[in-house]
Amino acid sequence: MGFLFGCQTSASVKGDVASYDSIHGLNIVDVGEGFNDLSEEVVRNPIGTVYRMNFCGITEPWGDSYKWFRNQYHTVRLYDIHRRQSACQVAASAHGKSKSVVVHVRRGDGGGNLLMPSRKFADVLDKVFRCDAPSACVNESEAHISILAETSETDPEIREFDKYTKAAVTYFLGNPERDRGRSIERLVRDLDCMSLSDVFVMSSGSFSSLGAALQSNGVSLVTKANETYRNDVPNAKPVSLIDH
């Protein structure tokens, strides 16, 4: 996803990032699987060192890195005149609503299992509209609710959100995309919606976590208390769920 953060080509970049071609001739230090403390390596090596990670590792907490990702993402986004507003903001304006509330309903990897039913996300929205959610209080009549989910347009379970008759609701649905071009379009659309939302109701998983890390203003609501370890950005707030 480097193109989202300024990596256009090996020689062309946007924002605070170095191109691949520009690092030739610098001191390159290979980092292996057992590597633990980058800060110690930075002390030992001079300015101009490039660290090459020779393994695919996942670090769950964002730490302060979200600041760079957030800045880069919106720097690149603003270069594109068609992305100055998200599709969700455009829909909100079309319905005369002032607050963009985005809900990411994850359907699961592979088999399309319901990791969390729609009613659980509705429980969170109920709290938002009652002003009972941390740092999130929206009048339902001012809200436009965007539902992002990889599921069929005819999925009856996803229509749980039709109950919010004072708000406007738009469904951004579709089965998992197999075409690369269309999948990139959906990826960009969804991340723009998440990152420009006033309230973002998250699923568990790294994609929602990325959306929270990129959110420029507003609040993200973590819908599972045990997911907070990958949502250590200051705008991500844990909210307890009602058991049904």
In the DSSP assignment, the letter for residue 198 is S
Is the pLDDT confidence value at 111 over 50?
no
User: What's the pLDDT at 215?
Assistant: 98
pLDDT digits (tens, 9 = 90+) for 122-149: 999 999 999 999 999 999 999 999 999 9
Is 79 inside a domain boundary?
Answer: no
pLDDT at residue 244 in the model? 47
Average pLDDT over residues 183-189: 96
- What torsion, rounded to 10 degrees, do the Cα atoms 157, 206, 14, 75 define? 60
Question: Are residues 153 and 93 part of one domain?
Answer: yes
With respect to residue 138, please indicate whether it lies within any of the assigned structural domains.
yes
Domain shared by 28 and 137, yes or no: no
Instruction: Please tell me whether residues 102 and 13 are part of one structural domain.
Output: no
In this prediction the pTM is: 0.88
Residues 6+ apart with CB under 8 A from 88: 100, 102, 144, 146, 170, 172, 192, 193, 196, 197
**Do the domain assignments include residue 178?**
yes
The answer for residues whose C-beta is within 8 angstroms of residue 130's C-beta and 6 or more apart is none
**pLDDT tens-digit series, residues 45-97:** 667 788 777 777 667 889 999 999 999 999 999 999 999 999 999 999 999 99
Q: How many domains does the chain have?
A: 2
Question: Residue 203 is part of a domain; what is its CATH number?
Answer: 3.40.50
Q: Which residue range(s) make up the domain with 27?
A: 2-53
